[in-house]
Amino acid sequence: SKPSIASVLHSTEQLPQDSESSKSLTINGFIRSVRKQKRFCFAAVGDGSTVQPLQAVLTPAQAEGLSTGAAVTISGLLKRSPAGKQQDYELHASDVRTIGEADPASYPLQKKYHTAEFLRTMPHLRTRIPFNSLLLRLRSHSISRLTSFFADRNFVQVHPPIITSSDCEGAGEVFTVADQSSQKPPPPSGQHRREEPFFRDSKYLTVSTQLHLEALAQSVGNVWTLSPTFRAEKSDTARHLSEFYMLEVELSFVDKVGEVLDVVEDMLRDLAQSLQESRLGKELLQAKRSFLKESWPRITYTEAIRILERAEAEQKVDFEFKPDWNNGLQAEHEKYLAETVGKGSPVFVTDYPQAIKPFYMLPSASDETVTDGPTVACFDLLVPEICEVVGGSMREHRLQQLVAGMKNRGMAKGTQQDFGSLNWYVDLRKWGSVPHGGFGLGFDRLLAYLAGVSNIREIVTFPRWVGRCEC
Protein backbone atom coordinates (compact mmCIF):
# COMPACT_ATOMS: atom_id res chain seq x y z
CA SER A 1 0.00 0.00 0.00
CA LYS A 2 1.14 3.54 -0.71
CA PRO A 3 2.03 5.87 2.15
CA SER A 4 -0.22 8.82 2.95
CA ILE A 5 1.20 12.26 2.33
CA ALA A 6 1.01 12.91 6.08
CA SER A 7 3.28 9.95 6.75
CA VAL A 8 5.71 11.13 4.07
CA LEU A 9 5.86 14.69 5.35
CA HIS A 10 5.66 14.07 9.09
CA SER A 11 7.44 10.72 9.30
CA THR A 12 9.73 10.27 12.26
CA GLU A 13 12.22 8.50 10.01
CA GLN A 14 13.34 11.66 8.28
CA LEU A 15 15.82 11.62 5.45
CA PRO A 16 19.36 12.48 6.56
CA GLN A 17 20.18 16.18 6.34
CA ASP A 18 22.58 15.84 3.38
CA SER A 19 21.21 16.90 0.04
CA GLU A 20 22.27 13.65 -1.67
CA SER A 21 20.02 11.25 0.28
CA SER A 22 16.78 10.15 -1.31
CA LYS A 23 14.05 7.58 -0.92
CA SER A 24 12.07 5.82 -3.62
CA LEU A 25 8.31 6.37 -3.22
CA THR A 26 4.89 6.12 -4.84
CA ILE A 27 1.96 8.28 -3.66
CA ASN A 28 -1.72 8.67 -4.52
CA GLY A 29 -3.38 12.06 -4.35
CA PHE A 30 -5.12 14.98 -5.98
CA ILE A 31 -3.55 17.96 -7.71
CA ARG A 32 -4.15 21.13 -5.72
CA SER A 33 -2.25 23.38 -8.11
CA VAL A 34 0.34 23.15 -10.89
CA ARG A 35 2.97 25.73 -11.65
CA LYS A 36 4.46 25.24 -15.09
CA GLN A 37 7.89 26.65 -15.93
CA LYS A 38 10.19 26.13 -18.90
CA ARG A 39 12.41 23.37 -17.52
CA PHE A 40 10.46 22.14 -14.50
CA CYS A 41 6.90 22.02 -13.30
CA PHE A 42 5.76 21.92 -9.69
CA ALA A 43 2.59 20.17 -8.61
CA ALA A 44 1.18 20.50 -5.10
CA VAL A 45 -0.38 17.13 -4.28
CA GLY A 46 -2.75 16.53 -1.38
CA ASP A 47 -4.65 13.45 -0.20
CA GLY A 48 -6.64 14.80 2.76
CA SER A 49 -4.28 13.28 5.33
CA THR A 50 -2.65 16.61 6.19
CA VAL A 51 -3.21 20.25 5.35
CA GLN A 52 0.26 20.57 3.83
CA PRO A 53 0.69 19.38 0.22
CA LEU A 54 3.64 17.36 -1.07
CA GLN A 55 5.49 19.17 -3.82
CA ALA A 56 6.20 17.03 -6.87
CA VAL A 57 8.87 18.16 -9.32
CA LEU A 58 7.95 17.16 -12.86
CA THR A 59 9.21 17.63 -16.39
CA PRO A 60 6.97 19.66 -18.72
CA ALA A 61 6.10 16.40 -20.51
CA GLN A 62 5.04 14.74 -17.23
CA ALA A 63 2.96 17.78 -16.28
CA GLU A 64 1.11 17.94 -19.56
CA GLY A 65 -2.62 17.68 -19.07
CA LEU A 66 -2.35 17.89 -15.26
CA SER A 67 -4.83 20.29 -13.73
CA THR A 68 -6.24 21.19 -10.31
CA GLY A 69 -8.53 18.49 -8.97
CA ALA A 70 -7.12 15.61 -11.06
CA ALA A 71 -6.39 12.31 -9.27
CA VAL A 72 -2.81 11.09 -9.76
CA THR A 73 -0.36 8.36 -8.84
CA ILE A 74 3.23 9.63 -8.80
CA SER A 75 6.41 7.59 -8.34
CA GLY A 76 9.82 9.09 -7.84
CA LEU A 77 12.59 9.97 -5.42
CA LEU A 78 11.85 11.89 -2.24
CA LYS A 79 14.62 14.41 -1.53
CA ARG A 80 15.22 17.26 0.86
CA SER A 81 14.32 20.59 -0.75
CA PRO A 82 17.17 23.02 -1.32
CA ALA A 83 17.58 25.40 1.62
CA GLY A 84 15.26 28.38 1.70
CA LYS A 85 12.32 26.62 0.04
CA GLN A 86 8.85 26.68 1.63
CA GLN A 87 8.69 22.92 2.04
CA ASP A 88 11.17 20.46 3.56
CA TYR A 89 10.78 17.70 0.95
CA GLU A 90 10.00 17.29 -2.69
CA LEU A 91 9.24 14.28 -4.84
CA HIS A 92 11.25 14.14 -8.05
CA ALA A 93 8.88 12.26 -10.31
CA SER A 94 9.93 9.40 -12.54
CA ASP A 95 6.40 8.30 -13.41
CA VAL A 96 3.17 10.33 -13.35
CA ARG A 97 -0.19 8.72 -14.01
CA THR A 98 -3.46 10.59 -14.25
CA ILE A 99 -6.09 8.32 -12.69
CA GLY A 100 -9.02 10.73 -13.01
CA GLU A 101 -8.98 13.95 -14.99
CA ALA A 102 -10.60 17.20 -13.81
CA ASP A 103 -11.66 19.54 -16.60
CA PRO A 104 -10.19 22.95 -15.66
CA ALA A 105 -13.00 24.74 -17.48
CA SER A 106 -15.65 23.28 -15.19
CA TYR A 107 -13.94 22.20 -11.91
CA PRO A 108 -15.25 24.75 -9.40
CA LEU A 109 -12.56 24.48 -6.71
CA GLN A 110 -9.67 26.17 -8.47
CA LYS A 111 -6.83 27.33 -6.22
CA LYS A 112 -8.06 30.60 -4.71
CA TYR A 113 -10.01 31.75 -1.65
CA HIS A 114 -13.58 30.45 -1.53
CA THR A 115 -16.13 31.80 0.93
CA ALA A 116 -17.91 29.43 3.31
CA GLU A 117 -21.22 30.33 1.62
CA PHE A 118 -19.87 29.37 -1.81
CA LEU A 119 -18.48 26.07 -0.52
CA ARG A 120 -21.80 25.29 1.17
CA THR A 121 -23.42 25.16 -2.27
CA MET A 122 -21.27 22.12 -3.11
CA PRO A 123 -21.10 19.92 -0.01
CA HIS A 124 -20.15 16.92 -2.17
CA LEU A 125 -16.90 18.64 -3.18
CA ARG A 126 -15.92 20.90 -0.31
CA THR A 127 -14.17 18.20 1.74
CA ARG A 128 -11.47 18.35 -0.94
CA ILE A 129 -10.47 21.74 0.49
CA PRO A 130 -7.63 21.07 3.01
CA PHE A 131 -9.39 22.79 5.92
CA ASN A 132 -12.64 20.92 5.33
CA SER A 133 -10.83 17.61 5.16
CA LEU A 134 -9.13 18.54 8.42
CA LEU A 135 -12.59 18.89 10.00
CA LEU A 136 -13.40 15.33 8.93
CA ARG A 137 -10.22 14.12 10.60
CA LEU A 138 -11.08 16.09 13.74
CA ARG A 139 -14.43 14.29 13.86
CA SER A 140 -12.80 10.90 13.37
CA HIS A 141 -10.11 11.56 15.98
CA SER A 142 -12.69 12.77 18.51
CA ILE A 143 -14.91 9.72 18.04
CA SER A 144 -12.01 7.36 18.58
CA ARG A 145 -10.71 9.22 21.64
CA LEU A 146 -14.16 9.44 23.25
CA THR A 147 -14.69 5.75 22.55
CA SER A 148 -11.46 4.92 24.41
CA PHE A 149 -12.37 7.30 27.23
CA PHE A 150 -15.60 5.42 27.90
CA ALA A 151 -14.12 1.97 27.29
CA ASP A 152 -11.36 2.69 29.82
CA ARG A 153 -14.05 3.46 32.40
CA ASN A 154 -16.16 0.37 31.60
CA PHE A 155 -19.08 2.27 30.09
CA VAL A 156 -21.09 0.12 27.68
CA GLN A 157 -21.57 1.58 24.21
CA VAL A 158 -25.15 1.02 23.04
CA HIS A 159 -27.32 1.58 19.95
CA PRO A 160 -30.68 3.02 21.00
CA PRO A 161 -33.46 3.25 18.38
CA ILE A 162 -33.85 6.07 15.84
CA ILE A 163 -37.58 5.53 15.19
CA THR A 164 -39.45 6.18 18.42
CA SER A 165 -42.99 6.54 19.68
CA SER A 166 -42.56 9.59 21.92
CA ASP A 167 -41.05 13.07 22.08
CA CYS A 168 -38.43 12.76 24.82
CA GLU A 169 -38.03 16.50 25.36
CA GLY A 170 -41.74 17.28 25.00
CA ALA A 171 -40.91 20.37 22.98
CA GLY A 172 -42.98 19.32 19.96
CA GLU A 173 -39.99 19.48 17.63
CA VAL A 174 -40.30 15.94 16.29
CA PHE A 175 -40.23 14.82 12.67
CA THR A 176 -43.04 12.33 12.09
CA VAL A 177 -42.07 9.22 10.15
CA ALA A 178 -44.18 9.22 6.97
CA ASP A 179 -46.25 6.06 6.58
CA GLN A 180 -45.20 4.74 3.16
CA SER A 181 -47.97 2.20 2.83
CA SER A 182 -50.70 4.84 3.08
CA GLN A 183 -49.10 6.88 0.30
CA LYS A 184 -49.05 4.13 -2.33
CA PRO A 185 -51.14 4.82 -5.45
CA PRO A 186 -54.25 2.60 -5.82
CA PRO A 187 -53.57 -0.74 -7.62
CA PRO A 188 -54.27 -0.77 -11.40
CA SER A 189 -57.08 -3.32 -10.96
CA GLY A 190 -59.09 -0.46 -9.49
CA GLN A 191 -59.83 -2.50 -6.39
CA HIS A 192 -59.21 -0.23 -3.43
CA ARG A 193 -58.02 -2.46 -0.67
CA ARG A 194 -57.35 -0.25 2.34
CA GLU A 195 -53.85 -1.01 3.54
CA GLU A 196 -53.04 -1.16 7.22
CA PRO A 197 -50.68 1.63 8.31
CA PHE A 198 -47.08 0.42 8.61
CA PHE A 199 -46.89 1.18 12.32
CA ARG A 200 -50.13 1.23 14.25
CA ASP A 201 -49.81 4.87 15.25
CA SER A 202 -47.54 7.90 14.77
CA LYS A 203 -43.81 7.36 15.01
CA TYR A 204 -41.07 9.94 15.15
CA LEU A 205 -37.37 10.36 14.49
CA THR A 206 -35.67 10.52 17.88
CA VAL A 207 -34.90 13.95 19.39
CA SER A 208 -32.82 12.33 22.15
CA THR A 209 -32.08 8.72 23.03
CA GLN A 210 -32.13 9.46 26.76
CA LEU A 211 -35.26 7.55 27.75
CA HIS A 212 -33.98 4.37 26.12
CA LEU A 213 -30.55 4.85 27.68
CA GLU A 214 -32.22 5.08 31.09
CA ALA A 215 -33.65 1.59 30.55
CA LEU A 216 -30.25 0.23 29.56
CA ALA A 217 -28.37 1.94 32.41
CA GLN A 218 -30.55 -0.01 34.82
CA SER A 219 -29.48 -3.29 33.24
CA VAL A 220 -25.78 -3.01 32.42
CA GLY A 221 -24.62 0.03 34.39
CA ASN A 222 -23.17 3.16 32.83
CA VAL A 223 -23.93 3.46 29.12
CA TRP A 224 -23.13 5.85 26.28
CA THR A 225 -23.96 6.36 22.64
CA LEU A 226 -23.14 8.66 19.75
CA SER A 227 -26.33 8.66 17.72
CA PRO A 228 -28.05 10.71 15.05
CA THR A 229 -30.85 12.87 16.46
CA PHE A 230 -33.41 15.00 14.66
CA ARG A 231 -35.21 18.23 15.49
CA ALA A 232 -37.86 20.00 13.46
CA GLU A 233 -36.81 23.34 14.95
CA LYS A 234 -37.38 26.27 12.66
CA SER A 235 -34.26 27.96 14.06
CA ASP A 236 -32.22 29.38 11.22
CA THR A 237 -29.09 29.98 13.31
CA ALA A 238 -25.39 29.12 13.24
CA ARG A 239 -25.98 26.56 16.06
CA HIS A 240 -29.05 24.61 14.96
CA LEU A 241 -29.34 21.71 12.55
CA SER A 242 -32.30 19.45 11.81
CA GLU A 243 -30.06 16.36 11.88
CA PHE A 244 -27.10 16.20 14.25
CA TYR A 245 -25.13 13.74 16.33
CA MET A 246 -25.62 13.67 20.07
CA LEU A 247 -23.30 11.95 22.49
CA GLU A 248 -25.45 10.75 25.37
CA VAL A 249 -24.41 9.20 28.64
CA GLU A 250 -26.49 7.70 31.42
CA LEU A 251 -25.02 6.84 34.83
CA SER A 252 -26.79 4.60 37.31
CA PHE A 253 -26.40 4.64 41.10
CA VAL A 254 -25.46 8.31 41.26
CA ASP A 255 -26.99 10.62 43.85
CA LYS A 256 -25.73 14.06 42.96
CA VAL A 257 -25.82 15.99 39.74
CA GLY A 258 -22.21 17.02 40.49
CA GLU A 259 -21.12 13.46 39.66
CA VAL A 260 -22.57 13.88 36.18
CA LEU A 261 -20.78 17.23 35.79
CA ASP A 262 -17.51 15.51 36.76
CA VAL A 263 -17.88 13.03 33.89
CA VAL A 264 -18.56 15.85 31.40
CA GLU A 265 -15.52 17.76 32.60
CA ASP A 266 -13.16 14.76 32.59
CA MET A 267 -14.37 13.67 29.16
CA LEU A 268 -13.88 17.05 27.49
CA ARG A 269 -10.53 17.66 29.15
CA ASP A 270 -9.30 14.26 28.02
CA LEU A 271 -10.37 15.01 24.44
CA ALA A 272 -8.71 18.45 24.50
CA GLN A 273 -5.54 16.90 25.90
CA SER A 274 -5.42 14.33 23.12
CA LEU A 275 -5.87 17.05 20.51
CA GLN A 276 -3.13 19.10 22.09
CA GLU A 277 -0.76 16.15 21.77
CA SER A 278 -1.72 15.22 18.22
CA ARG A 279 -0.77 16.78 14.90
CA LEU A 280 -4.40 17.85 14.50
CA GLY A 281 -3.90 20.28 17.39
CA LYS A 282 -1.17 22.05 15.44
CA GLU A 283 -3.09 22.03 12.18
CA LEU A 284 -6.16 23.61 13.79
CA LEU A 285 -4.80 27.11 14.15
CA GLN A 286 -7.95 28.39 15.85
CA ALA A 287 -8.30 25.37 18.15
CA LYS A 288 -9.88 26.26 21.46
CA ARG A 289 -7.82 25.33 24.51
CA SER A 290 -10.30 26.30 27.20
CA PHE A 291 -11.12 22.69 28.06
CA LEU A 292 -7.57 22.32 29.34
CA LYS A 293 -8.24 24.78 32.19
CA GLU A 294 -8.09 23.21 35.62
CA SER A 295 -11.47 23.85 37.18
CA TRP A 296 -14.60 25.10 35.54
CA PRO A 297 -16.98 27.43 37.39
CA ARG A 298 -20.29 25.91 38.55
CA ILE A 299 -23.06 28.41 39.29
CA THR A 300 -26.77 27.94 39.84
CA TYR A 301 -29.35 29.29 37.43
CA THR A 302 -30.59 31.66 40.14
CA GLU A 303 -27.05 33.02 40.60
CA ALA A 304 -26.77 33.37 36.83
CA ILE A 305 -29.94 35.47 36.68
CA ARG A 306 -28.63 37.70 39.50
CA ILE A 307 -25.31 38.16 37.62
CA LEU A 308 -27.18 39.15 34.46
CA GLU A 309 -29.48 41.55 36.33
CA ARG A 310 -26.51 43.15 38.07
CA ALA A 311 -24.61 43.52 34.81
CA GLU A 312 -27.60 45.36 33.31
CA ALA A 313 -28.10 47.52 36.39
CA GLU A 314 -24.43 48.49 36.31
CA GLN A 315 -24.80 49.21 32.58
CA LYS A 316 -22.08 46.75 31.64
CA VAL A 317 -24.37 45.32 29.00
CA ASP A 318 -27.72 46.05 27.39
CA PHE A 319 -29.62 42.84 26.64
CA GLU A 320 -32.33 42.66 24.02
CA PHE A 321 -34.28 40.34 26.34
CA LYS A 322 -34.35 41.34 30.02
CA PRO A 323 -33.17 38.47 32.24
CA ASP A 324 -36.24 36.95 33.92
CA TRP A 325 -36.12 33.99 36.33
CA ASN A 326 -39.24 32.45 34.79
CA ASN A 327 -38.13 32.63 31.17
CA GLY A 328 -34.83 30.75 31.01
CA LEU A 329 -31.62 31.97 29.38
CA GLN A 330 -31.50 33.51 25.93
CA ALA A 331 -28.44 32.98 23.71
CA GLU A 332 -27.22 36.52 24.53
CA HIS A 333 -27.39 35.70 28.26
CA GLU A 334 -25.49 32.44 27.77
CA LYS A 335 -22.84 34.28 25.76
CA TYR A 336 -22.40 36.88 28.50
CA LEU A 337 -22.09 34.22 31.21
CA ALA A 338 -19.66 32.13 29.17
CA GLU A 339 -17.44 35.14 28.54
CA THR A 340 -17.51 36.83 31.94
CA VAL A 341 -18.01 34.06 34.53
CA GLY A 342 -15.92 31.55 32.59
CA LYS A 343 -12.97 33.89 31.96
CA GLY A 344 -11.62 31.45 29.43
CA SER A 345 -13.06 28.22 30.80
CA PRO A 346 -16.43 26.61 30.19
CA VAL A 347 -19.20 27.34 32.73
CA PHE A 348 -21.76 24.96 34.23
CA VAL A 349 -25.15 26.47 35.09
CA THR A 350 -27.26 24.20 37.33
CA ASP A 351 -30.74 24.01 38.87
CA TYR A 352 -33.09 25.62 36.35
CA PRO A 353 -36.79 26.31 37.08
CA GLN A 354 -38.84 23.13 36.95
CA ALA A 355 -41.53 24.85 34.86
CA ILE A 356 -39.26 25.36 31.83
CA LYS A 357 -37.69 21.88 31.85
CA PRO A 358 -38.94 18.44 30.70
CA PHE A 359 -41.05 16.09 32.83
CA TYR A 360 -38.30 13.61 33.70
CA MET A 361 -36.04 15.82 35.80
CA LEU A 362 -35.50 15.23 39.53
CA PRO A 363 -36.18 18.21 41.84
CA SER A 364 -33.05 19.95 43.13
CA ALA A 365 -31.52 18.56 46.30
CA SER A 366 -32.20 21.76 48.21
CA ASP A 367 -34.39 24.68 47.21
CA GLU A 368 -33.73 26.59 50.41
CA THR A 369 -31.94 29.50 48.80
CA VAL A 370 -34.45 29.81 45.98
CA THR A 371 -37.62 31.75 46.63
CA ASP A 372 -38.60 32.24 43.00
CA GLY A 373 -39.99 28.74 42.46
CA PRO A 374 -39.10 25.04 42.39
CA THR A 375 -35.96 24.03 40.51
CA VAL A 376 -34.63 20.75 39.10
CA ALA A 377 -31.24 19.03 39.40
CA CYS A 378 -30.11 19.80 35.87
CA PHE A 379 -27.32 21.66 34.10
CA ASP A 380 -26.14 23.21 30.87
CA LEU A 381 -22.48 23.61 29.92
CA LEU A 382 -21.81 26.96 28.24
CA VAL A 383 -18.84 27.98 26.09
CA PRO A 384 -18.25 31.30 24.32
CA GLU A 385 -19.69 31.70 20.79
CA ILE A 386 -21.47 28.35 20.63
CA CYS A 387 -23.21 28.81 24.04
CA GLU A 388 -24.86 25.54 25.17
CA VAL A 389 -22.89 22.42 24.22
CA VAL A 390 -24.15 20.00 26.87
CA GLY A 391 -27.48 19.61 28.68
CA GLY A 392 -28.17 17.03 31.36
CA SER A 393 -29.90 16.23 34.65
CA MET A 394 -30.69 13.78 37.38
CA ARG A 395 -33.83 11.81 36.48
CA GLU A 396 -36.93 11.34 38.64
CA HIS A 397 -36.49 7.70 39.67
CA ARG A 398 -39.36 7.52 42.21
CA LEU A 399 -42.59 6.10 40.80
CA GLN A 400 -45.11 8.21 42.74
CA GLN A 401 -43.32 11.48 42.06
CA LEU A 402 -42.82 10.72 38.36
CA VAL A 403 -46.48 9.80 37.90
CA ALA A 404 -47.65 12.90 39.79
CA GLY A 405 -45.41 15.14 37.71
CA MET A 406 -46.61 13.61 34.44
CA LYS A 407 -50.25 14.02 35.49
CA ASN A 408 -49.59 17.67 36.37
CA ARG A 409 -48.29 18.21 32.86
CA GLY A 410 -51.40 16.65 31.36
CA MET A 411 -49.51 13.61 30.04
CA ALA A 412 -51.98 11.03 31.44
CA LYS A 413 -54.84 9.64 29.38
CA GLY A 414 -58.31 8.31 30.28
CA THR A 415 -57.86 6.34 33.48
CA GLN A 416 -55.11 8.71 34.66
CA GLN A 417 -52.77 5.74 35.01
CA ASP A 418 -52.24 5.46 31.27
CA PHE A 419 -49.28 7.32 29.82
CA GLY A 420 -49.64 5.87 26.32
CA SER A 421 -46.32 5.59 24.55
CA LEU A 422 -44.48 6.32 27.83
CA ASN A 423 -46.00 3.49 29.88
CA TRP A 424 -42.78 1.50 29.48
CA TYR A 425 -40.80 4.46 30.85
CA VAL A 426 -43.02 4.62 33.94
CA ASP A 427 -42.62 0.84 34.32
CA LEU A 428 -38.86 1.29 34.79
CA ARG A 429 -39.65 2.91 38.16
CA LYS A 430 -41.64 -0.08 39.38
CA TRP A 431 -38.89 -2.64 39.64
CA GLY A 432 -35.38 -1.99 40.91
CA SER A 433 -35.37 1.72 40.17
CA VAL A 434 -32.12 3.45 41.12
CA PRO A 435 -31.05 7.10 41.31
CA HIS A 436 -29.54 8.00 37.96
CA GLY A 437 -28.63 10.88 35.71
CA GLY A 438 -26.94 11.73 32.46
CA PHE A 439 -26.37 14.22 29.71
CA GLY A 440 -26.48 14.92 25.98
CA LEU A 441 -23.57 16.61 24.23
CA GLY A 442 -24.22 18.29 20.87
CA PHE A 443 -21.35 16.60 19.05
CA ASP A 444 -21.36 18.94 16.04
CA ARG A 445 -21.49 22.00 18.29
CA LEU A 446 -18.51 20.63 20.20
CA LEU A 447 -16.50 20.12 17.00
CA ALA A 448 -17.40 23.62 15.79
CA TYR A 449 -16.13 25.03 19.07
CA LEU A 450 -12.93 22.95 19.06
CA ALA A 451 -12.13 23.96 15.49
CA GLY A 452 -13.01 27.62 15.98
CA VAL A 453 -15.64 27.39 13.23
CA SER A 454 -18.40 29.92 13.83
CA ASN A 455 -21.15 28.08 11.95
CA ILE A 456 -22.20 24.47 12.61
CA ARG A 457 -23.07 24.16 8.90
CA GLU A 458 -19.34 24.05 8.12
CA ILE A 459 -18.72 21.19 10.56
CA VAL A 460 -21.30 18.83 9.09
CA THR A 461 -20.47 17.83 5.52
CA PHE A 462 -24.07 17.48 4.38
CA PRO A 463 -25.94 19.84 6.73
CA ARG A 464 -29.72 19.84 7.01
CA TRP A 465 -31.57 22.81 8.45
CA VAL A 466 -34.95 24.42 7.99
CA GLY A 467 -35.70 24.48 4.27
CA ARG A 468 -32.38 22.87 3.27
CA CYS A 469 -31.63 19.25 2.42
CA GLU A 470 -30.34 19.20 -1.15
CA CYS A 471 -27.46 16.79 -1.35
Give the burial string for 132-152 (b: 16+ CB within 10 Å, else e).
bbbbebbbebbeebbeebbee
- The CB-of-388 to Mg ion minimum distance in angstroms stands at 6
Report in angstroms how near the CB of residue 288 gets to ligand 4AD at its nearest.
15
- Using CB under 5 A as the binding rule, whether residue 328 contacts Mg ion is answered as no
What are the CB-based long-range contacts (under 8 Å, 24+) for 409-417?
A: 409/170, 409/359, 411/359
Over the window 216 to 255, marking each residue x when it contacts ligand 4AD by CB under 6 A and - when it does not, the resulting string is ---------------x-x------xx--x-x-x-------
Closer residue to Mg ion (CB): 323 or 391: 391
Site string for ligand 4AD, 120-159 (x = CB under 6 A): ----------------------------------------
Determine the Cα–Cα distance for residues 257 and 263; give it in Å rounded to an integer: 10
Q: Which does 168 bind (CB under 5 to 8 A by kind): ligand 4AD, Mg ion, none?
A: ligand 4AD
Q: How far is the CB of 214 from ligand 4AD (least distance, A)?
A: 9
Start-to-end CA distance of the chain, whole Å, equals: 32
**465, 241 contact by CB (below 8 A):** yes
To ligand 4AD, the closest distance from the beta carbon of 158 in angstroms equals: 13
Which CB, 53 or 384, lies closer to ligand 4AD? Answer: 384
For ligand 4AD, the binding residue among 76, 392, 405, 463 (CB under 6 A) is 392
391, 405, 442, 463: which one binds Mg ion (CB under 5 A): 391
Cα–Cα distance, 348 to 289 (Å, whole number): 17
CA-nearest of 430, 429, 431, 411 to 421 is 411
The reply on whether position 440 binds ligand 4AD by CB under 6 A is: yes
30, interface contact from ligand 4AD, Mg ion, none, CB < 5-8 Å by kind: none
Instruction: Indicate which of Mg ion, ligand 4AD, none lies near residue 47 (CB less than 5 to 8 Å, by partner kind).
Output: none
CB of residue 231 vs ligand 4AD: minimum separation in angstroms?
4
- Does 169 participate in binding ligand 4AD (rule CB under 6 A)? yes
Residue nearest to Mg ion (CB): 391
Asked whether position 46 contacts Mg ion by CB under 5 A, the answer is no
Interface size with ligand 4AD, residues (CB under 6 A):
22
Yes or no: say if 210 and 437 are a contact pair by the CB < 8 Å rule.
no
Pick from 445, 447, 460, 463 the residue near ligand 4AD by CB under 6 A.
445
- Residues constituting the chain: 471
190: left (phi over 0), alpha (psi -120 to 50) or beta: left
Q: Compute the least distance from the CB of residue 125 to ligand 4AD, in Å.
A: 24
Taking the C-alpha atoms of residue 293 and residue 286, their distance in angstroms, rounded to an integer, is: 17
Which of the choices ligand 4AD, Mg ion, none does residue 324 contact, using the CB cut-off of 5 to 8 A by kind? Answer: none
* Residues 420-439 as x/- pattern, contact with ligand 4AD by CB under 6 A: ------------------xx
Cβ-count burial 301-316 (b if 16+ within 10 Å, e if not): bbbbbebbeebeeeee
Shortest gap between Cβ of 104 and Mg ion (angstroms)? 48
Phi and psi of 275, rounded to 5°? -70, -40
Report the interface residues with Mg ion, using CB under 5 A.
391
